[in-house]
Structure 1
């Protein structure tokens, strides 16, 4: 299993349990990431910023993620994902795309693109 597949597996587990430890362990210390989440506008840098992002998810999110497609090219691996669960105490469903850039067994960059959830944030 390559690093992107492992990262996706850990993302699925983190969303289900709130424990993002395994995913964070895969992040390069200088990871760059972009997520469409309040408080994280623009490109973020560093594992500490990523830990803050995932800590926020731990407090608000429990969801089942199902990969519906895997796409690769230009050094990137993207996963189209269907999501259903609870966000801030409200049931929601959404679709998202997670893109990973990896090297040397680490996630160097990740980006999340999503449609708005069906329940209010």
Structure 2
């Protein structure tokens, strides 16, 4: 839940430092964002992604459901905010893989790319 809380704070404020502080140096991630397509590796690449988010997105996230398993935790999330100054709303699923309190992987799946009003 800590990683998700840091994601919520980052989306709302643009300050991703707490989540970045939880990243394993060899973190693996996949997000459906142009410029970050495909599976990416390493904290440096993740920091570039969060820098892009900080410059582009401000949003309020509300967790709707949580699914936990041995390999990770998934959060179904409702999102409303602005991207590049334009309003948007959507649902997504964020999955965190954790080991010893570090985020070793994360994935994001959009339920309604293009927005949900």
Tell me if both proteins adopt one fold, taking TM over 0.5 as the criterion: yes
SS at match of 1:48: helix
SS at match of 1:118: coil
Q: CA deviation at 1:117?
A: 3.2
* Structure 2 counterpart of 1:20: 16
Q: CA deviation at 1:75?
A: 1.6
Aligned residues: 115
Alpha-carbon separation, structure 1, partners of 2:74 and 2:114? 20
Q: CA RMSD in A?
A: 1.0
Where structure 1 has 5 or more consecutive residues not aligned to the other structure, the ranges are: none
Counterpart pick for 2:47 among 39, 44, 51:
51
SS at match of 2:19: helix
* Structure 1 counterpart of 2:115: 118
Q: CA deviation at 1:76?
A: 1.3
Once the two structures are superposed, the pairs formed by residues 1-121 of structure 1 within 5 Å of their partners are 5-114=1-110, 115-118=112-115
Alpha-carbon separation, structure 2, partners of 1:9 and 1:118? 22
Alpha-carbon separation, structure 1, partners of 2:19 and 2:43? 11
TM-score of the superposition, structure 1-length normalised?
0.92
SS at match of 1:55: helix
TM-score of the superposition, structure 2-length normalised?
0.95
SS at match of 2:15: coil
